[in-house]
């Protein structure tokens, strides 16, 4: 059995270029947003992670020339000395600061074997087209450039070992356009590397928080390269691992286009058969699991689900996102398939309740639900049970940066 994690020889920006290279994750920006964000920034990693921005707008995002352009742009940043290859395998301490929230984790190469054996645990389905995209990107670059976000069970020793590295001089220290501070420290001491690896390897499991398509793609690339004489670096994938207790999940709210033929009064009456409905003079931020905010006809309501309707012994069905679907979205609003029904959309909590009001007040949507955030312990319980969470259950903040460390497969 391979170790759960190992150090790797990262491809990373030279310290003086880190701020110019670092970019948002490839999957949080549209192509138009990425094109605008990268304008006048030739070193931005968006030219690699979303290379369609350097091609005519009519080019399909999954066209072969997009992956070729990505590889061309990566080679140029290396040739120009913007990116450099580490001389020896290292770990990295990575700190994110967003307002008053701070989390410090470890950048490492995580085992594909552990992922395949479900020791690195999943909680989402993946889509073949998105997996295919990540496979083509990895193969074109011969590198994994988008890290998978992992959580590890709480461990004082792991946190102490990683925090010890932050006393040194960082190799990247920047504040991104969104105000999030990103700082990296190299961990190259052999004793520290050995201790960190041993502590993580002793853990029963790691948990994917975000990056199911990236990890699935890494597994496919590894499987394709086995037996070909290729280096075993493909048996690991790029990951950032944070202590579960440091991570923060924001609410992932719902907006619905119509009332399924009901009047507002009829809808509220139907909801009232399942919830306590209380009008509110101010926007409703749910204070605990089992409570929701409802915005309808420019009024807020506080909803509290009847406790007997929540199945306490089912880790998926007791999630607030599941309770809302089973008690309101499907039986009252006729929305049974969250993945395909175009009448529903999802709004990350980072946008705040005013965004829910805006989308309803504009007439685009008829109503909105403000959710209590899914807790990381709930995510881990679902993964431990080998089950799958409903779509759009978690919104992690702050987001990782792309480009600060890439895993080359050689």
Share of the chain above pLDDT 70, in %: 100
pTM over 0.85: yes
The reported pLDDT for the residue numbered 339 is 87
Q: How far is CA 196 from the centre of its chain?
A: 24
pLDDT value for 270: 98
At 230, the pLDDT band (50, 70, 90 cuts) reads confident
Domains of the chain, with CATH numbers?
Answer: 5-248+398-408 (no CATH), 252-372 (3.30.1760)
Do the beta carbons of residue 77 and residue 17 sit within 8 Å?
no
Distance between CA atoms of 164 and 4, rounded to whole angstroms?
21
Please report which confidence band the pLDDT of residue 209 belongs to, taking 50, 70 and 90 as the band edges: very high
pLDDT at 1 over 90: no
Helices and strands per DSSP (H, E), number in the chain: 13, 21
Read off the pLDDT of residues 29-66 as tens digits, 9 standing for 90 and up: 899 999 999 999 999 999 999 999 999 999 999 999 99
Mean pLDDT within 169-192: 96
Which two structure tokens, joined as six digits, stand for 174?
A: 């920047």
Among 398, 378, 406, CA closest to 104: 398
Burial class (CB in 10 A: 0-12, 13-18, 19+), 81: exposed
């Amino acid at each position: 059995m391979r170790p759960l994690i190992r150090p790797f020889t990262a491809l990373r920006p030279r310290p003086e270029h880190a701020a110019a290279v670092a970019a948002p994750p490839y999957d949080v920006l549209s192509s138009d947003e990425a094109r605008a964000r990268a304008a006048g920034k030739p070193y931005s990693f968006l030219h690699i992670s979303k290379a369609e921005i350097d091609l005519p707008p009519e080019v399909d995002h999954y066209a072969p020339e997009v992956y070729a352009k990505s590889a061309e742009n990566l080679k140029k940043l290396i040739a120009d000395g913007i990116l450099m290859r580490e001389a020896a395998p290292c770990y990295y301490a990575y700190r994110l600061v967003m307002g008053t929230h701070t989390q410090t984790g470890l950048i490492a190469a995580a085992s594909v074997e552990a992922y395949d054996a479900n020791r690195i645990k999943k909680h989402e389905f993946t889509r073949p087209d998105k997996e295919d995209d990540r496979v083509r990107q990895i193969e074109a670059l011969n590198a994994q450039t988008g890290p998978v976000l992992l959580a590890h069970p709480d461990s004082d020793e792991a946190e102490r070992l990683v925090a010890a590295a932050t006393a040194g001089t960082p190799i990247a220290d920047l504040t991104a356009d969104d105000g999030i501070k990103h700082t990296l420290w190299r961990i190259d001491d052999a004793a520290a590397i050995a201790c960190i690896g041993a502590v993580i390897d002793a853990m029963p499991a790691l948990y994917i928080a975000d990056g199911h398509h990236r990890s699935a793609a890494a597994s496919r690339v590894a499987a394709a390269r086995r037996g070909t004489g290729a280096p075993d670096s493909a048996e690991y994938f790029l990951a950032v691992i944070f202590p579960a207790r440091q991570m923060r999940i924001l609410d992932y709210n719902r907006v619905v286009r119509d009332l399924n033929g009901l009047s507002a009064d009829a809808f509220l009456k139907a909801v009232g058969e399942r919830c306590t409905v209380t009008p509110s003079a101010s926007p409703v931020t749910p204070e605990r699991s089992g409570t929701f905010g409802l915005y309808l006809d420019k009024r807020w309501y506080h909803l509290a689900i009847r406790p007997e309707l929540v199945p306490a012994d089912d880790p998926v069905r007791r999630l607030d996102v599941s309770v809302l679907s089973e008690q309101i979205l499907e039986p009252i609003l006729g929305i049974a398939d969250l993945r395909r029904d175009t009448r529903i959309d999802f709004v990350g909590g980072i946008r705040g309740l005013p965004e829910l009001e805006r989308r309803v007040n504009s007439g685009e949507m008829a109503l909105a639900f403000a959710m209590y955030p899914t807790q990381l312990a709930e995510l881990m319980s679902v993964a431990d049970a080998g089950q799958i969470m409903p779509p759009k259950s978690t919104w992690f903040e702050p987001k990782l940066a792309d480009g600060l460390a890439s895993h080359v497969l050689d």
